[in-house]
Amino acid sequence: MPELPEVEIAARNLRRWMARRRIGALRADARARRLFRPGTPAALQALAGARFQTLRRIGKNLLLTFAGKSGPLGVWSHLGMTGKWLRRAAGEPAPSASRVELTLDDGAHVHYVDRRMFGRFRLVPGARFDGLSEIAALGPDPLTDGIDAAALRARLAGLRTPIKVALLDQTILAGVGNIQASESLFRAGIDPRRPARTLTGAEVKRLAAAILESIHFTLDDFAAAGADGGGADIGYVEERQTENPFLVYGRPGAPCPRCKKGTIVRMVQAQRATFFCPRCQK
DNA sequence: ACCCGTGTTCGCTG
DNA sequence: TCAGCGAACACGGG
């Protein structure tokens, strides 16, 4: 269930698993049609025999490029709410809810797993990702591009919608999700209910810094839990046994970690949970 | 049974 | 034309 940090971890894992590898065989779950739309499970067979070349992450999107038999071949992968990429050594059983299984020429299996199937796994002929309107519409990626506070403020200037809801709009910033939105507004000391256009320049600047801090904090937490680069694969939040690493997300009723006097409140905005401290977020 | 969920898209309204 | 809202998608866990 990924936001930018988890998708970044998936990207690093996939680059390591797939480097210089060729896809020997491919199996696609025929019941998972919606993941492949408008393509079909059968059409994915075009990937058989293709060699991995590069992987790019933009926000929560993974763009994989392969060298196919007749030219470049792209895959657009979005993990939705429950998508994840897992590796299994030769002989190991497939994970449950595996929707696509890539058998690599080193014998390993790479699975795209997605229980609820809100994700996407779409073949992109010629790897022409710039032809995808969904990708073209994305705003800047905080990790890759940084955040231009002035540009962000200009983007928020016309919006009556609450700042928390605006942060979930992928055309404003690509990759911020429900956790990072609550966490960064808490770090910036900004009330999530404020209409986006009422934020001052100084507040947007603070928010931009807070988004980057929160993303880096979450990535570091993953690295500590899974040792990225050390060779071990990194787990996903839902799988690991460790404590909730977040400041306010998922902590209704807890004392505020900043002011110590307020209590973290859970409310619902645009049908999504928001966590905040009403005492120190103004 | 009921509510909840790290996401996005679609159709409706003003 | 578009901002804003709520339903829908799909399925398991508490």
**Is position A3 annotated as part of the catalytic site?**
yes
**Is position A278 annotated as part of the catalytic site?**
no
**Rounded-to-integer distance, Cα A2 and Cα A80, Å:** 7
**Is position A56 annotated as part of the catalytic site?**
no
**Rounded-to-integer distance, Cα A32 and Cα A114, Å:** 9
Contact between the CB of A81 and strand B at under 7 Å:
yes
CA-CA-CA-CA dihedral for A28, A24, A122, A36, to nearest 10: -10
CA A258 to C1' C12 (Å) is: 35
Chain B nucleotides close to protein (CB under 7 A) are 4-9
One-letter amino acid for residue A170 of the chain: Q
CA A158 to C1' C3 (Å) is: 10
Hey, CA dihedral for A59, A214, A198, A146, is it positive or negative?
negative
Chain C nucleotides close to protein (CB under 7 A) are 3-12
Contact between the CB of A241 and strand B at under 7 Å:
no
Q: How much of chain A exceeds pLDDT 70, in percent?
A: 94
- Lowest-confidence segment of A16-25, A125-134, A232-241 by average pLDDT: A232-241
Whether pLDDT at A231 is above 50: no
Catalytically annotated residue among A60, A99, A120, A164: A60
* Strand B contacts in A 250-279 (CB under 7 A): 266, 268, 271-273
Whether pLDDT at A58 is above 60: yes
Q: Could you report the per-residue pLDDT of A136-189, keeping only the tens digit for each?
A: 999 999 999 999 999 999 999 999 999 999 999 999 999 999 999 999 999 999
H or E, element range at A101: strand A98-104
**Rounded-to-integer distance, Cα A250 and Cα A273, Å:** 9
pTM of the model: 0.94
